[in-house]
Chain A
Amino acid sequence: MNTRNIYIGLIILAVFSSCKKWLDVQPEDRFTGEQIFKTKDGFATAINGVYLDMATDKLYGANLNGTILEAFAQRYNLDNPSADFYSYSNYDYQNANVKATLDQIWTGMYVDITNVNKFIEHLDADKGVVLSSSEDSLFKGEALGLRAFMHLDLLRMYGPMYSSADSTKPAIPYSAIAGTSYGPILPANQVMEKILSDLHSAESLLAKDPIRNGIQNGLDISYLNNRNQRMNYFAVKGLQARALLYRGNKAAAFLAAKAVIDHTSLFPWIQSTDVLSESRNPNRIFSSELIFSLFSPGLYDVQKNYFSSDVKDQTILAPSTDALNDVFQGDENDYRYNPNWKIAPTGKSYKTFYKYADIEDKSAPSRFLVPLLRLSEVYYIAAESAPDNATAFSYLNTVRNNRGLLDVPQTASFSDELQKEYTKEFFGEGQLWFYYKRKKVSMIFPFGNPYQPVFLGAAQYVFPLPLSETSPR
C-alpha cells in the first residue's frame, strides 16, 4: 500500500516537472513584447504607436505646435495676468503649470524615444525571421530618423544657445538603449554628433524608400502609403539640413537642403485655387508641400479649445489686430493671411486663427495633418546657407512667389526679409521660437502689445531640465 502511494507520487511529480509551460501565465489585459513582435503587422503596429503618441496634445498635437512654443515666441495677445498662457509668455519657469508642462513634454518625448529604442532592439534581434531585409531597412531607417528628430527638438528646447562653434555646455541625455542603465547629461556638441550620426544611418537605410518615386496611396501594405506622414528619405534629408544649420555648418546644410529641393516636384507647391479662392475646403496647411507630417485625430479639438472665436477671453490664443497687420503688411494676396485669419460670425470682434479648423469635405486627405517639416523650410534653409547672395534671394523669392507675393529685390536686407517670412509661414507650428533661439534674437515685439518689447537671453531661451530628470540623478 505504501509503495503504491510512492509510485503514484513519483509519477505525478514527473508529469508536472515536465510541464513548466503549464505554469506560464500570459497576462490577459495587455500584450507582451514577444507576442507583438512575432508578425510583420506587429512591427508596423509598434512603430505606429510612436507616430500616434507624438501627435497627441502633449507633444506635436498642441504643445509643440500651436500653443506653448508659440506663446514663448510672443505670438499671441497675452497681456492679461489672468490669461491661461500668461506665465509662458512671461518665461516664468518657476510657475507650477509651466514646470508641469515642460516636464510633460520632456517625459513624453523620452517615452516615445524609449519605444523607438525597444523597436530597434527587436528589429536587430529579428535577423530575417519575420521581416525581409528591405522591410527591416525601411523600419530601422524610420526608427533612427524619429530618434534623431525627437532628440533634435529636445536639444533645441532644453539645450544651450548654440554658437557658430559647437557648444560644449551640458544639454540633454541621449537615449539609445531602452532600459534602466542611463547615460550622463551630454554636452550639446556630443548630442549633435549623435543626432547627425543617427540621421546618416537613417539616410542609407532609407535609400530605397518608395517616396523617391512619388507619394502613393491605396496600396495594400499600409505603411507604404502616404510616406510623407512617416519619417521618410526626404524628411531625413530635410532634418539633416535643419540640424546642420542649427549647428552653424552652412555648407553641409546647403547640400542636404539641395537634395530635397532637386526633387521639389514630389512636393508640389500649393495653388491659389486650393487656398485663396477655395472658400469651402481651403487647404490651409498646404498639405501637398509637407515633407513630414503627423495625423493627429485630436487636431480639431485643439482648434476648438484654444483658437476658436467661442473660446473664453482668458484662454484664447490670438494676436492683436495691429500686430497681425504689421506681420502681413496688409497684403491680401498672401495665401497665409486671409484663409487663416477671419472674424467669426459669432464671438470675438477680432480675427481668430483658422489654420487648424475643420473643412466641409470630410474625405479630404489634408484633414487632421500636423505639419512638422515643410518644403518651404528647406528652401529657407537653402537660402540662408547659400554660398552667394543671388542664390539666397532666388530661393527666398521662390517661396514668396508660391505664396502669392512678389519678389524682394536683392538690395533688401536678407536677414530681415527671412525673419519676416519665418514669421508669416510658421504661424501655429512652433518653428519661429527655434529660429529666434538659433539667431539669438535679443528683442522681439509681442503680438499683444507692440510698443513694449520683450528682451530675450539664455534665461528665456533655455528651458530648465525638469525635476523628474534631475532628482533621481
Chain B
Amino acid sequence: MGWNVNNEKGIKDIKWITLIRLRANIGVTGNQNFSSYSSIDTYNYFSGINPYGQGVLLSTLGNPNLEAQKTVQTNIGTDVALWGNKLNFTINAYRKKTSPLVVAVDLPSSTGVSKLPLNVGYLDTKGLEAVVNFSPIYKPGERIVWTIGYTGSIYKSKYGNFNNTLASLNTAQLNSNSLVRYQDGYSPDDLWAVPSKGIDPATGREVFVKKNGEYTFVYDPADIVKSGSGTPLIEGVISTSFTYKGASLGIYLRYVLGRDIFNDVLYSKVENISFQGLSENQDKRALYDRWQKPGDNARFKGISLTSTTPISSRFIQEENSLSGESINMGYRFDQKIWLKKVGISSLTLNAYMNDLFYFSTVKRERGIDYPYAKSFSFSLNASF
C-alpha cells in the first residue's frame, strides 16, 4: 500500500515538493536452493555391468520430515522528489525472515552421506537501501541535464532459534562441528577458520590459537571460530550522467567497503604448491616471501615444509574495492535535414565500456577460475 503525501491538503501547495510517497508491503515466498528430492531416497544406475546384470546405488538419502523454507518479507520505503525532480531520493528498509531454514549438515563420511538437509532455526536479514539523484544542472526543456547519483546498501543477516531446535537432535549431531557455523547471532556470510598468529620466526611454522587462547603448532578443526564477515559495511554505485542536447555521457562506479574475503591465490599459489607443480613456474612470492632461515619475519611458512597448509585466518583479508562498472557515451541525431534526405528520421550512436577496472586493497589474481571480461561495444541505431 502507498500514500502520496504530496497530494494531501497542506502539502499540495508547497511548490518545491513534487512527490512524497510512503509505501509499505509484505509478502511470503517459498524458497528452493537445495535439491528437489531431499525428502526421499533416490538411486542411480551404476555405469557398468557384471554377469548378474546392472546395479543401482543410492544417490541421495532422504529426510522424510523435511519442510520447505518460507520467507516473509516486509518492506517500507519512501520516494521523494523535490524541485520537479531536480533532487529525488528513495529510501527502503526491509526485513526478510526465512523459517524454517533448510541447512545442509556435514556428517562424518562413515554415514555414507556427506551432507544432510535438516530443518533448523531461521535466518533474519535486515537492510537499508538508499538511492539519491541530484541534478545540479537541470534544464530538461533545453535538453541539458547533469545528474549525480548515489546508491548505497547496508544489510545484516543473523541466524536464530538454532539452540531450541537443535536440543531435540541426537547429541552427536549437536556436537557436530559442522553446526558450529549455524549458531544464534551469526551470519551466513561469516568466514570460519582457525585463528593464526602468523609464522614463527624461529621455525618457519605457522602458529595457531586454540579455543582456550593457547598457542600451538598443531592444526585442530575444533579450534575453528568466526574469523571474518563476508557482509560488506556498505556497498553501492556512484554515478554521473550528463546530457547536452543530443550528446550523452554516463559513468557508473561500484564500491564495496569493508568486506572480508578468503584470498585463494595466496592459499594455493604461495603455499600448498603440489609436488607435481614444482616442475612448473611458480608465483615469485613463494620464494621471496616464504620463511627461509631462523630469524626471518616472513608472511608465509617455511619453504621446505611441504605438508598441506590448512585454512587459517592468515588468508582472510579485508577488501575495499572500487570498480569501473560501466561507462557509456552516445550521440543522437534527431530530425536533421541531411538525414531526412536519406530517409532516416533519427540516428543514435552509442559506445559502451563495461568492467573497465577493479581497484582493491586485496592483491589477488582474478579471472583464473571464473573469467571476467572488459568489454567495449559500439552500437548504431537508425529509425526510418
Chain A residues with a Cβ under 8 A of chain B:
27, 30-34, 36, 44-53, 55, 94-97, 99, 103, 106-107, 110-111, 113-115, 117-118, 172-173, 175, 178-184, 222-223, 225-226, 229-230, 294-295, 297-298, 368, 466-473
Contact = CB atoms under 8 A, between A and B. Distances in A.
A111 B175 contact: no
Nearest to B111: A182
B52 A222 contact: yes
B221 A52 contact: no
Interface string B100-142: 0000011111111110100000000000000000000000000
A230 B52 CA distance: 10
Interface of B: 36-37, 40-44, 46, 48-59, 61-63, 105-114, 116, 170, 172-173, 175-178, 221, 274-275, 307-308
Contacts of B42: 27, 30-33
Contacts of A180: 61, 63, 105, 107, 111, 113, 116, 173
26 contacts: A27-B42, A30-B43, A33-B42, A45-B54, A46-B43, A48-B53, A49-B55, A50-B55, A51-B50, A52-B50, A118-B61, A172-B110, A173-B110, A180-B105, A182-B107, A184-B172, A222-B52, A226-B51, A229-B50, A229-B51, A297-B50, A467-B221, A469-B109, A470-B108, A471-B221, A472-B177
B274 to A, nearest CB: 7
Nearest to B58: A115
A106 B112 CA distance: 10
B50 A175 contact: no
Contact of A53 (B52, B55, B275): B55
Contacts of A223: 52
Given A52-B46, A179-B111, A473-B172, 19 more contacts: A27-B37, A31-B56, A45-B55, A47-B55, A48-B56, A49-B43, A49-B57, A50-B57, A96-B274, A107-B114, A110-B112, A115-B112, A173-B110, A180-B111, A182-B107, A183-B172, A468-B108, A470-B108, A472-B106
Given A295-B50, A472-B178, A473-B175, A175 B37 contact: no
A110 B110 contact: yes
Contacts of A466: 109
A99 B54 CA distance: 32
Contacts of B274: 96
Contacts of A226: 51
A106 B53 contact: no
B153 to A, nearest CB: 35
A45 B56 contact: yes
Which 4 A-B pairs have CB atoms at the shortest separation, nearest pair first?
A114-B112, A49-B55, A33-B41, A295-B50
A52 B45 CA distance: 11
Given A30-B44, A181-B172, A471-B106, A110 B111 contact: yes
A114 B110 CA distance: 8
A181 B61 contact: no
Contacts of A99: 308
A181 B51 contact: no
Given A106-B109, A173-B110, A225-B51, A472 B56 contact: no
A181 B308 CA distance: 31
A357 B61 CA distance: 38
A473 B50 contact: no
B193 to A, nearest CB: 13
A94 B109 contact: no
Contacts of A95: 275, 307
A114 B56 contact: no
Contact of B113 (A34, A44, A114): A114
Residue in A97, A106, A180, A225 whose Cβ sees the most chain B Cβ within 10 Å = A180
A33 B43 contact: yes
A103 B50 contact: no
B108 A222 contact: no
A200 B61 CA distance: 29
A191 to B, nearest CB: 12
A230 B50 CA distance: 11
Nearest to A217: B51
B170 A468 contact: no
A229 B170 CA distance: 39
B176 A473 contact: yes
Contacts of A178: 58, 61, 112
A36 B57 CA distance: 10
Contacts of A44: 52-53
Residue in A49, A97, A467 whose Cβ sees the most chain B Cβ within 10 Å = A49
A84 to B, nearest CB: 10
Given A44-B52, A180-B173, A471-B177, A118 B41 contact: yes
